[in-house]
Amino acid sequence: MRTGGTDEAITMTMRKVNVAILVLLAVAFLIIVQRNLLNLSDFLHKEHPDAGMILPFESELSPDLGLELVRKGEEIPVLITAAEERLGSVIAAMNSIYQNSKANIVFTIVTLNDTVDHLKVWLSKTKLNNVNYKIVIFKPELLNGKIAKDPQTLEASKPLTFARFYLSAYIPEAEKAIYLDDDVIVQGDIQDLFETPIKPGHAAAFSEDCDSASAKGIVRGAGTQNNYIGFLDFKKEAIKKLGMRANTCSFNPGVIIANLTEWKNQNITQQLEHWMELNTKEDLYSKTLAESITTPPLLIVFYKRHSSIDPMWHVRHLGTTGAGNRYSPQFVKAAKLLHWNGHYKPWGRTSSFSDVWDKWFLPDPTGKFVPVRRHTD
């Protein structure tokens, strides 16, 4: 009896242990399966080339398997322009933004009517086919009477550079938005840029030209302008009347974070148009203006009324003679956003750090756009 009772007790205990072991095994199995699944999805959505590691960006892995997660959460509106003759730049920029973030990015691409078909083919036949985007057609008539019909100013023939003035009109539903020039590569998570604080009463944040990168002497002496007098003619009455200090640090409008509520409340677009119109009559911009003609009206309208962007989120002058080459590869690698402003574009014949740009470029399926390179191998 006693032994029988003990045996029964032992059997019961054994069963309990067996059940416990089975449960543990099942849990362990589930954990392993889940981990591996997570790892798989991690790998598929691997968004950033880790130090020294080069991922096969040209691989069709992610879109073809159709495993791209639906991106949820707060929308991050990004406005960018697509000019036919440099369409590869917007593709590389978008690819870098998209692959380096898991955020719910919505691109608004402003382009001319004739570019729409080419752009759509390029987006749909590459790994950008999952990207959430809208195309808006820029109407060049918008600029009638606002830019001089002077072919001398090269950019007058580039109407899309003015698209940023109409930010609140292109993204009417958003409160906050990002504008980016097409000659950028984003290496950080765009969510961080989006979270740039905009002070109350400010309609936008820009990166100033006297930021730490310039202060370190990296850019100084490269022949770039960094104060208001480099952009505006302070001898003109209309400028004098504003009482602005000529040596005020200028900013580069290639990266803009905007509070579109303030933008609309302050009539920023109308104010910019006003200065454009006045310039066609009174020639208010500096005679030595080397950079974008979209900058002077922005400098006037946002004088002492803008917030700042983290300097690492707008590392620029990569397209200026010599300047880009002064950056160390370590600095370029650490930069969150690289901007090839200046004449030497990374898809052109000679440019610094074009290898960085190449990593994000996706070849044109129509074959129309091909980066020009000095050495072809």
Query: What six digits make up the tokens of 147?
Result: 């830019």
Centroid of chain to Cα 169: 19
Q: Does 39 bind ligand NAG (CB under 6 A)?
A: yes
By beta-carbon proximity to ligand NAG, the closer residue of 198 and 238 is: 198
Query: What six digits make up the tokens of 155?
Result: 């950019």
Q: Does 156 bind ligand NAG (CB under 6 A)?
A: no
Q: Does 35 bind ligand NAG (CB under 6 A)?
A: yes
The order of strands in the sheet holding 104-111 is: 133-137, 104-111, 75-82, 176-180, 251-259, 204-208, 307-308
Find tokens 């060049």 and name the residue. Answer: 140
Q: Are 105 and 136 in contact, with CB atoms under 8 Å apart?
A: no
The residue length of the chain stands at 377
Q: Looking at 34, 36, 212, 366, which residue binds ligand NAG (CB under 6 A)?
A: 36
Task: Tell me the pairing of strands 204-208 and 251-259.
Answer: antiparallel
By beta-carbon proximity to ligand NAG, the closer residue of 275 and 327 is: 275
Residue 86 amino acid letter: R
Q: Does 41 bind ligand NAG (CB under 6 A)?
A: no
Per-position x/- string for 91-130, each x denoting binding to ligand NAG as judged by CB under 6 A, each - no binding: ----------------------x---x-------------
Compute the least distance from the CB of residue 228 to ligand NAG, in Å. 22
Residues between 304 and 363 with contacts to ligand NAG, criterion CB under 6 A: none
Residues between 232 and 271 with contacts to ligand NAG, criterion CB under 6 A: 259, 261-262, 266-267
Query: What six digits make up the tokens of 196?
Result: 């740039």
Residues between 164 and 193 with contacts to ligand NAG, criterion CB under 6 A: 175-176
By beta-carbon proximity to ligand NAG, the closer residue of 77 and 319 is: 77
Query: How far apart are the C-alpha atoms of 21 and 18, rounded to whole Å?
Result: 5
Query: How far apart are the C-alpha atoms of 307 and 284, rounded to whole Å?
Result: 25
Compute the least distance from the CB of residue 137 to ligand NAG, in Å. 7
Q: Are 215 and 207 in contact, with CB atoms under 8 Å apart?
A: no
Compute the least distance from the CB of residue 46 to ligand NAG, in Å. 12
Find tokens 């495993």 and name the residue. Answer: 67
Window of 14-22, 31-39, 297-305, 330-338 that interacts with ligand NAG by CB under 6 A: 31-39
Query: How far apart are the C-alpha atoms of 206 and 309, rounded to whole Å?
Result: 5
The size of the interface with ligand NAG (CB under 6 A), counted in residues, is: 14
Compute the least distance from the CB of residue 175 to ligand NAG, in Å. 6
Q: Does 366 bind ligand NAG (CB under 6 A)?
A: no
Compute the least distance from the CB of residue 112 to ligand NAG, in Å. 9
In this structure, the dihedral spanned by the alpha carbons of residues 297, 301, 307 and 308, taken in order and rounded to 10 degrees, is 20
Compute the least distance from the CB of residue 357 to ligand NAG, in Å. 29
Q: Give the footprint of ligand NAG on this chain (CB under 6 A).
A: 35-36, 39, 113, 117, 175-176, 198, 200, 259, 261-262, 266-267
